[in-house]
Each structure stands twice: as structure tokens, then as C-alpha cells.
Structure 1
């Protein structure tokens, strides 16, 4: 009898401790709000933000302000929508840049926009070459969890997952960002863009010093990224193209001008196969490779993200804007008829570039 009473006592103590622990973790998650889900603003500066949640939340109230969308990973996020607006009649673009986006993200959001009757006249779609090795999202990736409306889940369950989760890295990062404020990122929901004002200031003050001090520009990378998601990416891209045709959406596809240091991570033949896959489904503008823009580090904040000026010359090439100077070797319009010639040119270009690096 005594043992039974002791067992009940310990069960109650354990239950109380569990409740207190959950309350403590939930309180920290709510106050610090590492992904800006609850908008508590206890800490003003945002270290990371779940753009998939924030932007759908914003667009649900403001979708009729826009009739065109820019889809891409964070790399398209530095391009203001008005850069594209001027080239298409009565266009009002929104930059739907979302962290580490891949073709799965573009497909589920396009489906949701159509289903929810978002006005869409134009879709300006940027595809990263790194997408050849990625598809879908994991349940544990809280920074990139889709909005519950997009995947048909309950909002309450979504909030609870962010209250009860364990996010030491993200919490520490946000607290440090608010104390140190070394590399602030500005997020602008009305346009969808993000900015890096402190890095921009450093670049303008002393570009040579910036390049010397930016670690990602000064490392030697190996070609390790493979084309592992060919089937998934092919199906998703074809469905995106079909949805645009069916819904009378003007689709413009182009590839990301990755910095030379990021280009160095792609296995040559896998990268070329990925481009060929795109060309088999749709025409596109290819800005990849080692060209005047991608080999100049000053066009980038680090080896992953290009600056606003690059977004402007991408658009100038696509829309044939003669008022903006675009390097001759930057941007090729690719079709299934010229893809083989284009790939052969890229292969020679890359082999020559690799040869120069070894000398």
C-alpha cells in the first residue's frame, strides 16, 4: 500500500514538472519568437523568419494588391518588384522569396494561389542549380515549414508546434542578433524583399576590403553536389508549366547566376543534365556558369546571395532593355533546339576555368 502511494506521489511530481517544463519552453518560444510566428516583438531584430508563414499570412489579407509573383529562394529576395513591373503591362509584382525554396515549394504555393483565387497574370520563376539535389521539406525544418493553409493543416496545431519545439540555435541566434547587431537583415512584407544594409555600407565604403574579409569568397570548394532529384524536379516543373498554361499565366523561367565559388560545388555533368531537364519542359534564360557577373565577387554579399544590381541586369536581359548595360556573356535564352550547343559551350567554359585554377 505504501509503495503504491509513493508511486502516485512521484507520478504527480513528474506530471507537475512536465507541465512546468512545457510552460517554461513555451514561454521562451513565445517571448523570443525565433521564427516571428507570434509577432511578440519582445526582441526587435529578426535573426531568422519563416517567410512561408509570414508571407501567406500577409497575402491572405492583401492578395488583391498584386497580380503577379516572383518565385525563388532567398537569392531572388534582393530584387525589388518594381524592377519587373515596368516591363509588363499593368503588372503589380510581389516578391515571394522564401528560404531554400525548391520546385516542390513553387508547386505547392502555385496550387494554393490558384485554389484560393489569388490574381496571377505573370509568374517570374527563378530556379537554383542547387535544386537538383533538393526536393520537399522535412517536418523538423521549422524555419521552412509551409503555412498550414497551404498544406491543409490546422492553424492551432501549427502554433502549438512552435510553442512546444526545442530551438536553442535559433533562440541563441536571435538574442545575439539583438545584442550585437553585426549583420542585420531587413524584411519588407509589403514588397516581399529583404536587404542587408550593413553589408551594403561596407561594400560601398571599401569593396576590396569587403572581398578580402568575406570568408566564402576565399575558400576552395569541391564539386560534390549531385543531381539526385531529377524525377521529382521534372514532374514538378512540368506541373507548374501545365498549371500556368491552363490558368493563362505568363510564365518566365530563368536560372540563378550563382557566384563562382558556389558554381565550384556542382558536379559538372550533373549540373548540365539539370539544365537539359529544364529545357525539355520549357524555354528559359540561363544565367549560370562562369561569366562576367558570376566571377566578380563584388556582385554578391557572400557566395550564396547576389546584390540588387544583379537582379536588375537579369531583368534587362530577359526583357531586352537596351537602356541598361548587360555583359554580352550574361544570359542565354535556351530552348530544346539550342540546348546541346549551349551545354557544349558551358562544358568548355567550365573546363577552361578549372584548368586556370590549377595553374
Structure 2
């Protein structure tokens, strides 16, 4: 019996050690509570949807947010300073985005604000066909936070993060970065490429506001201003990705339609002043006419603005950080068009 117990302990010890390290280190910031989820000490890529949810929970009672920008990472180019030119100055802004983005994720975030007793006075919803293609997403960076879906996926959520934690490529990248202090291309989404400062006035690094989750790409923008950002390697990612004669498939099926109609009903409930922006992606591919027609019918044509396809911004790669994300100058012009009506 004693030998049996020793054998069980011998084989279970590595598992216990891994889970212990996963919980103690909490590299993905999903175990413990943090007053600031955007600490400069954290170099690990985290689930942005989870982080923005926890920051909202931390601050909602004190700041009474009533105006939200929802979307995927492309929405981060839309800033409070510019948006406040078009909505009431008394509005209290929160940037509630997620990485990748899915129809389900956006719906549950809006529903979460409603469930928390929050107001939806103004909403800028930034979407694109790639977001519409995702009903839900897998993987630790993209899975919906359990807090906003009644904890229905809580086991899967932590399982995905534990799998990522034990991934050899992640451990290799994390250890390498901790030792060298340098981001390398192979590290991908595991490690954050640019340092996040805890001081908004430190424009050498990027900054994410610990209260409203707004992100500022100071480091990249500084490199662009100084003519050092668009290296040969960065220019190379823009090649052969434009297809101006192409159209995305029809993504909005019954289950997506139900969630989008649910979003509209929440907007109606709160008498929300809302606008839907279909992002100007660099690939120049147009949204499917059936999807556009559904959005126009559901949210009202006056509230939907389609910037997909070829336009004045995506003919010049200088308007983009890379092939996926456009810069704030584009977002500012988009807002001016949207609210000029």
C-alpha cells in the first residue's frame, strides 16, 4: 500500500507542480484580482476580453460609465478625445474591446453592461466581416470570459489557459524574454512586443489606461513620425494582401442574426445613440451585400457605415500599422464622416 501511494505521488507530482505554478505565477492574470491589469511588469499576451471585463468591474461603480466603444482590436484606434467631439461632453467613456472579436463576444459584453445596471447612452460599434465570421472563438487569447456568460464556459476557459501555459513554445518565449529582455519574431502573440508603461506621459512606450482601457500606441507612432517604423520587413507584410475585386462570404446566419437582433433590442431598451462602423481593412475586400443589407435592416441604414472595399485610406500602407490595424488618423476621419450626418 505504501509503495502504491508513493507511485501515485510520483506520477501526480509533476501535474500538481504545473498547476501550482500556473496558479501562483498567474501569468495570464486570470486567477488573482488586480487593481491594475495593465502593469508594465507583465510581458505576456493576455485575453483582452477578460481584462477589459475585469477593469470594467473594478471601476463601474465609481465612474458610472455610460458611453462605450465595442469591437475587436481594430477599435483601439478610436479615441475618447476624438469621440467626445461628437457626443455629450458629460458622457463617461469606456473602451470595451476584445482580441479577434466575435458576434457572441460583443453581444455578451453589451448584455453584461445591461445586467450590471449600467447605461448605454452612446455606443460606437466597430466591426468587420472577419468579426462577423466568428460566432465564438477558441484559444486562451480569444475565448469569452466566463463572467459575461453566466460562467457557462468556466472549465473550458481555464483549461485553454492551462494548455497555453504548458505549451513549449510559450515557455520558451517567456523564459527567453525574461532573460534577454528583447522581443523576437518567433514569440508571436505569446509575448507583448512593445513595453506598456504605467505613466501616460512616458511617450517612449505604449500606455493603456487602467480606468477606461483606452490604449495609446506611443511607441509605434513615435517611430512613424521619425521615419523609422516602416522597415523593409514591415513593408513586406503589406504585399499581396489586397483583393479589391473580391467579396467576403455571407456570414450572418440564423444564430448570428439572433445575437445581432439582441444587440439592437438592448440599444432600444437604453435609447442608445449608436453607430455601426464597418472597418476600412487594408485587404480592400468588400462586405457581402447580404450581410450589409441585414445590418441596415436591423440597425437602420442611417446608423450603419460601410468602409469596406477599396477606399482612400487603404491605397496607402502608411495609414496602417500592419495589414490588420489602421491608425488613429483613419479612425478620426471615419468618425467625422459618421457623425456629420
TM range, smaller chain = 0.7 to 0.9
Shift of 1:224: 9.0
1:23 aligns with 2:22: no
> Cα–Cα, structure 1 residues 160 and 227, in superposed 2: closer, same or farther, change >3 Å?
closer
Is the contact made by 2:72 and 2:98 (CA closer than 8 Å) also made in structure 1? yes
Match of 2:55 in 1: 58
Match of 1:184 in 2: 194
Instruction: State which of 254, 261, 267 in structure 2 corresponds to 1:238.
Output: 261
Is the contact made by 1:77 and 1:192 (CA closer than 8 Å) also made in structure 2? no
The structure whose residues are more often helix, as a share, is 1
Counterpart of 2:280 in 1: which secondary structure? Answer: coil
Is the contact made by 2:28 and 2:161 (CA closer than 8 Å) also made in structure 1? no
| C-alpha RMSD over aligned residues | 3.2
Shift of 1:163: 7.2
Shift of 1:272: 2.8
Output the CA distance in 2 between the equivalents of 1:87 and 1:286.
19
Q: Deviations over 1:173-195 (max 9, x none)?
A: 44445521463153333231234
1:85 aligns with 2:87: no
Is the contact made by 1:25 and 1:166 (CA closer than 8 Å) also made in structure 2? no
Instruction: State which of 278, 284, 306 in structure 2 corresponds to 1:286.
Output: 306
Is the contact made by 1:70 and 1:95 (CA closer than 8 Å) also made in structure 2? yes
Shift of 1:204: 1.9
Output the CA distance in 2 between the equivalents of 1:212 and 1:164.
33
> Cα–Cα, structure 1 residues 129 and 162, in superposed 2: closer, same or farther, change >3 Å?
closer
Aligned residues: 306
Counterpart of 2:295 in 1: which secondary structure? Answer: helix
Match of 1:117 in 2: 117
Shift of 1:245: 0.6
Q: Deviations over 1:282-322 (max 9, x none)?
A: 220112211111221111110101112222112111122xx
1:301 aligns with 2:326: no
Which of 1 and 2 has greater Rg?
A: 1
1:39-188 correspondence to structure 2 within 5 Å: 44-64=41-61, 65=63, 66-89=65-88, 90-138=90-138, 141-153=139-151, 161=159, 164-167=162-165, 168=167, 169-178=169-178, 179-181=181-183, 183-184=193-194, 186=196, 187-188=208-209
Output the CA distance in 1 between the equivalents of 2:13 and 2:176.
26
Is the contact made by 2:145 and 2:157 (CA closer than 8 Å) also made in structure 1? no
Using the size of structure 1 for normalisation, the TM-score is: 0.74
Which segments of 5 or more consecutive residues in structure 1 lack a partner in the other structure? 321-332, 334-359
Using the size of structure 2 for normalisation, the TM-score is: 0.77
Q: Deviations over 1:149-173 (max 9, x none)?
A: 2111289968964774443244444
Match of 1:347 in 2: none
Match of 2:189 in 1: none
Match of 1:336 in 2: none
Shift of 1:76: 0.6
Match of 2:201 in 1: none
Counterpart of 1:254 in 2: which secondary structure? Answer: strand
Q: Deviations over 1:105-162 (max 9, x none)?
A: 1111111211110132111111112134221233xx2222333221112899689647
